[in-house]
Copies of this chain bind each other. A is one copy, B any other.
Amino acid sequence: MREKADSDLVRRQNRLLLLEALRQHGAMARVDMGRHTGLSPASITSISSQLIGDGILEEAHTPHTAAEGPQRRGRPTTQIDFNPKGANVVAVKVSIDGLELALADARGAILARRTSRSATHDADSAAFGKLVADEITALLTKARVPTRRVARVGIAVQGVADSQAGTVVWSPAFRGRNISVAAAIEERLGIACRVANDANMIAEGLIGSDRKRYGGTAAVVFMGWGVGMGLIINGQVYHGPTGAAAEFGHMNHLPDGPLCRCGRRGCVEAYVADYSLLRWASGHAATQPPSSNAIPPDDMLALEAAAHRGEPAAVSAYAKAGEALGFGLARLIAILTPARIVLAGPGTRAMPLIRPHLERALEQGVVDELRRTVEIEVVPIDTDMIIKGTIDRALRHVDREIFAHGPLKKGRELETVA
């Protein structure tokens, strides 16, 4: 109970209700909107016609060929969907070896992509801001979309992002700390911009893909070059008080454990991440500082093969990873008891090697009653999930902050209409 209720709130809330139904179920007739929102047909007519007038939705004039099933009696429905020209969003994924960009329309369809191998590692706020802004401009030029049509930019990074301040607090992609990103983009391009952790964006994408399944309380653990986590609490991706994401990867497993990239010892990541597995297997001391170079995928494949062949060092590396991951999840369950834990990322390829040890750790670490209520599933996520999640999140934000507000009288003059 935050906001006072008046007719303005009613309009926003119901417009948003309708937009959300459309996002979730795709194009639908007015009747279906009524079913999904609980609003009366009269209200649906009124709201939808306004949204169409605002250029946000449009009636599908499909020659009804794609009509599902046999034609039923009665007046045929007219499908309504987002107007693709209503607004655009841009998603940017920052990784160690470059940038990946995508431009999407209001329906979430990707219109153009762009990849850049520019080195970001040594960039400071100014340089990185310019780089991203230039890349976005190039992407828009290619797609012939004017800048003012872009309602929002979402940026996903590995590491700790402060989404409130719009900065990258710490990331393996940068040598520096507290790189300010959002402000630079907003200043250079005049587009609202949001920075977020990449695991959170995967969580966002999962919510978008199946609200039933992932909409309650769930944790998404990303295993690969590092270990990240996105937390969904009551259907919302959790950003802590400071806007930073959960740092499951840097949760301690054992005091005085192996050295982690973050400088502490015994973090979960120092057992489970790619570099950690290789370090165990190569017989190097656990106190050896982890390499900061990117790891060629082939190295991991070779390690997995070795473990499958039964080579002791490799087998034991995965055993240690499984135990650390299992106790980590056990601790997570003790605190939050999420309904579902999703393991994702390239690291899950080795799940058959890890799983038995993970399960054993869970048995040791969690009371049976709790363990049974948590479902653990493995989703081999294609990397594009980060981009898609970023787009999803940006669009949901546009729905809420721009589309739901109705005819933008005064104030921002964002040209969202064709």
Contacts and interface: CB of A to CB of B under 8 A. Distances in A.
Contacts of A247: 334-335, 337, 367, 370
A373 interface: yes
A151 interface: no
Contacts of A327: 252, 255
A262 B334 CA distance: 13
Interface string A324-337: 00010011101111
A216 interface: yes
Contact of A233 (B216, B233, B337, B369): B233
Contact of A10 (B9, B248, B332): B9
Contacts of A365: 252, 255, 264, 266
Taking the full assembly, how many copies of this chain does it contain? 2
A17 B38 contact: no
A39 interface: yes
A80 interface: no
Interface residues of A, number: 61
Given A6-B10, A10-B5, A262-B367, A248 B160 contact: no
A38 B4 contact: yes
Interface in A226-252: 229, 231, 233, 238, 240-242, 244, 246-248, 250-252
B334 A246 contact: yes
A169 B365 CA distance: 19
A254 B264 CA distance: 17
A37 B2 CA distance: 9
A331 to B, nearest CB: 5
A14 B2 CA distance: 10
Nearest to A231: B335
Contacts of A361: 255
Interface in A369-413: 369-370, 373
A59 interface: no
A318 B149 CA distance: 62
A16 interface: yes
Given A10-B5, A331-B252, A370-B247, A241 B337 contact: yes
A373 B335 contact: no
A367 B6 CA distance: 45
Contact of A216 (B170, B241, B263, B335): B241
A373 B241 CA distance: 9
A169 B373 CA distance: 13
Given A216-B241, A231-B335, A337-B241, A369 B252 contact: no
Contacts of A14: 4-5
A279 interface: no
A338 interface: yes
23 contacts: A1-B13, A5-B5, A5-B10, A5-B14, A9-B10, A9-B13, A160-B369, A217-B240, A233-B233, A241-B337, A242-B337, A244-B337, A247-B337, A247-B367, A247-B370, A251-B334, A252-B331, A252-B366, A255-B323, A263-B367, A264-B366, A331-B335, A335-B336
